[in-house]
Amino acid sequence: MSLKIFNALEHQKTDSGFTLAQAINSGIKNSDSSIGVYAGDAQSYKTFSLLFDPIICEYHEFSKNKKHKPDISRLILPSLDPEEKYIRSTRIRVARNLKGFSFPCHISLSQRRKLEKKIVSALDRLKDDLRGKYYSFESIDEKELKRLKKENLWFQKGDRFQDAAGINSDFPKCRGIFHSFDKRFMVWVNEEDHLRIISLERTSDISSVYNRLSRALPTLNQNLDFSRDKTYGYLTSCPTNIGTSMRAGVHIRLEKLERNKDLLHDLVRTYNLQIRGTGGEKTKIRHAVFDISNRQRLGISESRIIQNLHNGLLAIIKAEQNL
């Protein structure tokens, strides 16, 4: 941040009292941050636009005169890995925050409580295969907790980046997860965003995972008013997640490409994807299992993200087979 921007923003505050010092605290405390800033509420994107806009434009390759057009219509895509040789699982998540509440790095305990109640009552209204149960981290028993951890239906207290942003305040109060009885649909409550809405399967069937999510979102939207901006789409704590707020990815085993990392990185760049570690963001690759997902979330529609991911994964699987 230039001194000019710092001077212009130093004494600015959003209506809920979120300051520049809070917005940049994570990056100040963690010099290895790739982004380093978080929004404390929807208004942060306007109040601190001098800071946020350049980050958003660079990360998403977006310009403010471009329109962000959503499209979450259903898709039918050919099977990616019919013999299930490479892809272990497919997961698509979107983030949502509710209008009228501060974001998780700047929310009081009483507001978090109110929010949790509101979200749980909306989740209770889900129908058919989306029906499930909410597990509060405050009241969950040991046995259930062990099961959720074992089945990977769990989120941990935030890392040092989230901690410095203020996201861990009052943890584990008002946090919990909802999962459908078939465990293919899940919602994290009060993690980095008010909701992380997740569809997942231990298959390579991207269409099925995506279509489940595209069914769930309008139903949840009937009872929850999501924070959204005309230019920036859905607003989230981290500016890398705005727009569609969608991260669609697979866990894929690539034994040969692991030994040919340059080729893998070239393909990932060509299709505008990103690689994360086997255990998630900022973790190592174990047993040649890569987490590959879309990089861009703004200025691209939800269905286009899925089609690009599908094309990229087809190319990656082909390269692995040819090696």
User: Residue 307 interacts with ligand CIR (CB under 6 A)?
Assistant: no
Q: Are 268 and 289 in contact (CB under 8 A)?
A: no
Q: Which of 91, 96, 112, 196 is catalytic?
A: 196
User: Residue 35 interacts with ligand CIR (CB under 6 A)?
Assistant: yes
CB of 155 to ligand CIR, least distance (A): 15
Is 281 a known active-site residue?
yes
Which region, judged by CB under 6 A, interacts with ligand CIR, from 32-40, 41-49, 85-93, 214-222? Answer: 32-40
- CB nearer ligand CIR, residue 135 or residue 232: 232
Residue with token string 């980050």: 55
CB of 59 to ligand CIR, least distance (A): 7
Which string of x and - marks every residue 59-88 that binds ligand CIR (by CB under 6 A)? ------------------------------
- CB nearer ligand CIR, residue 100 or residue 280: 280
Q: Which of 247, 295, 297, 302 is catalytic?
A: 247
- What is d(CA 228, CA 219) in angstroms, rounded to the nearest whole number? 17
Which string of x and - marks every residue 135-174 that binds ligand CIR (by CB under 6 A)? --------------------------x-------------
Which region, judged by CB under 6 A, interacts with ligand CIR, from 28-36, 187-195, 201-209, 248-256? Answer: 28-36
Is 238 a known active-site residue?
yes
Is 147 a known active-site residue?
no
Q: Among 19, 22, 25, 26, which residue interacts with ligand CIR (rule: CB under 6 A)?
A: 26
| 81 φ, ψ (degrees, to nearest 5) | -145, 70
User: Residue 1 interacts with ligand CIR (CB under 6 A)?
Assistant: no
Q: Which of 91, 112, 174, 192 is catalytic?
A: 192
Q: Among 33, 89, 208, 260, which residue interacts with ligand CIR (rule: CB under 6 A)?
A: 33
Give the binding-site size for ligand CIR (rule: CB under 6 A): 9
CB of 282 to ligand CIR, least distance (A): 8
User: Residue 36 interacts with ligand CIR (CB under 6 A)?
Assistant: yes
Is 240 a known active-site residue?
yes
User: Residue 244 interacts with ligand CIR (CB under 6 A)?
Assistant: no
Q: Quick one: which of 124, 304, 129 has its CA closest to 213?
A: 129
Q: Are 26 and 162 in contact (CB under 8 A)?
A: yes
| 123 φ, ψ (degrees, to nearest 5) | -65, -35
Q: Among 2, 10, 21, 34, which residue interacts with ligand CIR (rule: CB under 6 A)?
A: 34
Is 88 a known active-site residue?
no
User: Residue 25 interacts with ligand CIR (CB under 6 A)?
Assistant: no
HSE of 212, CA atoms in CB hemisphere, 13 A = 27
HSE of 142, CA atoms in CB hemisphere, 13 A = 0
Catalytic residue ranges: 93, 192, 196, 238, 240, 247, 276, 281
Contacts to ligand CIR by CB under 6 A = 26, 33-36, 161, 238, 240, 281
